[in-house]
Amino acid sequence: MKKNIFSKDALIFKDLNSKKITLNNNKNQKSIAMNFTNFKYIAFWAPVNAPFVSIEPWCGIADHMNTNYQLEEKTSIIKLQKDEVFDKSMFISFI
């Protein structure tokens, strides 16, 4: 992994064809796999020079640079009606 790949922000991918990702450790042949079937986005980020990378399934994203800051108009905002349930899950495997 390039050390500065996340220096400006997270890498965020939307509507991928696959909903499972696997990261392989090239030092010891170990892997981590994540199934994120019900999420629209997957984000990867890490602090600069960190010895790890974070993998996060997201339902929505942060505001864009030219946003109007209106929550109701935010990209991918999910609006629930009274008593409506919002349920998500992901599965992680260590291989």
Give tens-digit pLDDT for 13-23: 998 888 999 98
Average pLDDT of the chain?
87
Residue 58's DSSP bridge partners are 41
Measured over all CA atoms, what is the biggest interatomic distance in the chain, rounded to whole angstroms?
50
The sheet carrying 11-14 orders its strands as 11-14, 41-45, 54-58
Would you state the structure tokens that stand for residue 19, as one six-digit string?
A: 């909903």
What predicted TM-score, i.e. pTM, was given to this entire model? 0.77
Residue 21's DSSP bridge partners are 34
